[in-house]
Structure 1
Amino acid sequence: MSEIQSRPYRSFLFVPGSRPDRFEKALGSGGDAVILDLEDAVAPEDKDVARHHVVAWLAPERPVLVRVNAASTPYYERDVELGKLRGVAGIVLPKAESAHDVIDLISRIRRKIPVYPLIESARGMWNALEIAKAPCVRQLMFGTLDFGADMNMESDGDGLDTFRVQLTMISRVAGIRAPVDGVTPSIDNAGQLRAETIKARRFGFAGKLCIHPSQVSIVNRTFAPSEAEREWARRVLCAFENANGAAVAVDGKMVDRPVFLKAQSILDDVRS
């Protein structure tokens, strides 16, 4: 298993597949995962050229994710073939609306590979639990811009928060990693990015999609446990281990097993 598959991610950086000059720079951005994008970031007339650039650059020593075009497009079949190549550590599947979409993808690739379905429509949200339970699904991603358009809702502000909670709960029920929040389109507004990332974390998301390298460090820092959280976690583990099964309190609050597990997860984050 490659490194990119074996650990949780906080930041996912999109890079246009038509811009091979940016591939190496993206790897050096500090992003936990780089997504070579064949879909929204590439104009229709450049799709074939972008796919060629990605194939020519892929290598096992630099694993990346690839976002293919949706199954309804004429580019899908050729895009999916990239999933068979070494260096592709996972597929981001746009416009996912049913478990069948994931199953079809895996059947074409003919190997087990992590799949990251993008929930971008009302139908996709309605069927999100079955999508999350489909084979090889690693995490759900929330395509907030397309979802907002499909629902005729604003994609910023609080309008989509109900659906964020839903995706977090669905991921938990399905037994997969917590979901990934959508992009912040304003690449020059660090305050907005930080606020939206804080919200995503509070709603139980594990990471966020990025569209510019400058966004990566803010996302990583915001999702990382603070020193205060790590110190709290150390106190909880120490108290819990010394209690020998007896009731124990930390900072005036009772510590039971769920609290212990939360503290353990904070300290298990090797990147903290």
Structure 2
Amino acid sequence: MSDPVQQGCSFLFVPATQPERLPKALASGADMVIADWEDAVAPADKERARAALLAAVAALAHAQRARLLVRINSEGSPWFEADLQALAQLSALGLAGAVVPKAESAATLQTVAQAAGSRAALVPLVESVAGLAAADALAAAPQVARLAFGHLDFQVDAGMACAQDEQELLPVRMALVLASRRANLAAPIDGVTVDTRNPERMASDAARARRMGFGGKLCIHPAQVPVLHAAFDPDEAAVAHAQRVQQALQQAGGGVCVLDGRMVDAPVLAQAQHTLQRHARAQQRLAVTD
């Protein structure tokens, strides 16, 4: 992929205290891997996690480093400043960028960007009501590549108790999709599915994310990656139909035409082109992992 942060669909978390998992995660088929310094690391292990990740990244090939992000600890935590210092070192090695948890202001993102350097991509995690209110500012901040939704923390902050289908969060998810579009960002990344032994739940969550306009999803287990891709990558029938739509409009000279009894016009063509773009990214992914 030319820009895996912007075009990626699957973002797989790995605890930074287990750097031996990084090569396996990168070989899992995931578009991006997120080494985690935050929730997956106990307070007593934060320093060890930084050192372990620096050593592990130094041993990776450059192409692998470009598919790696690190989730730092939030601003205001005791570990934020040390994380920024280590992030600068990782960025110099070619790390793609940082996931910024509990993002609530553009000023925080500017601080992270200054530490990481101008080539680092930022992925703010919207995990609070304040973060949602600042979604437009976060999306418009320099070096932000995507927004991501931390729906579990958001529920806690908002005092919500969502049902299993999470219908209560539909307005929040749509708000992030629209904020991303207003800022001309790549489609946002939906939150994790915590049930790692239930591929049906993962498939359902991924299908909802796709229908709502998300561009991908956070993963916490390698087994979730192919299920996610199956929901987002167009199947052969969808690709064939998109190609027929494109061909029909070309033959009609770019005007309105009828295909299989249905009107085909500019919006239908745009959807078909989007399908073919997603198919091309899926083929690129296969080429990288083969």
TM-score (norm 2): 0.89
> Is 1:148 the equivalent of 2:155?
yes
* Structural mapping, 1:1-272, within 5 Å: 3=2, 5=4, 8-58=7-57, 59=60, 60-63=62-65, 64-81=68-85, 82-83=87-88, 84-155=91-162, 156-157=164-165, 158-269=167-278, 270=280, 271-272=282-283
Structure 2 distance, partners of 1:20, 1:109, is: 21
Structure 2 distance, partners of 1:135, 1:229, is: 36
- Match of 2:99, SS state, is strand
User: Percent identity between the aligned chains?
Assistant: 41
Structure 2 distance, partners of 1:67, 1:149, is: 20
Instruction: Give the aligned residue type for 1:123.
Output: A
| Cα offset, 1:36, TM superposition | 0.4
Structure 1 distance, partners of 2:84, 2:271, is: 38
| Cα offset, 1:218, TM superposition | 0.4
Q: Structure 1 pair 23/246, CA: closer, same or farther in 2 (3 Å)?
A: closer
TM-score (norm 1): 0.95
Q: How many residues align?
A: 271
User: Is the contact between residue 116 and residue 138 of structure 1 (CA under 8 Å) also seen in structure 2?
Assistant: yes
User: Is the contact between residue 62 and residue 87 of structure 1 (CA under 8 Å) also seen in structure 2?
Assistant: no
Describe the superposition over 1:184-238 as per-residue Cα deviations: whole angstroms up to 9, x where unpaired. 1111111111111111111111101000111111011111112221121011100
| Cα offset, 1:251, TM superposition | 2.8
CA RMSD of aligned residues (A): 1.6
- Match of 2:203, SS state, is helix
Unpaired segments ≥5 residues, structure 2: 284-290
Structure 2 distance, partners of 1:67, 1:246, is: 48
User: Is the contact between residue 4 and residue 33 of structure 1 (CA under 8 Å) also seen in structure 2?
Assistant: no
Instruction: Give the aligned residue type for 2:256.
Output: A
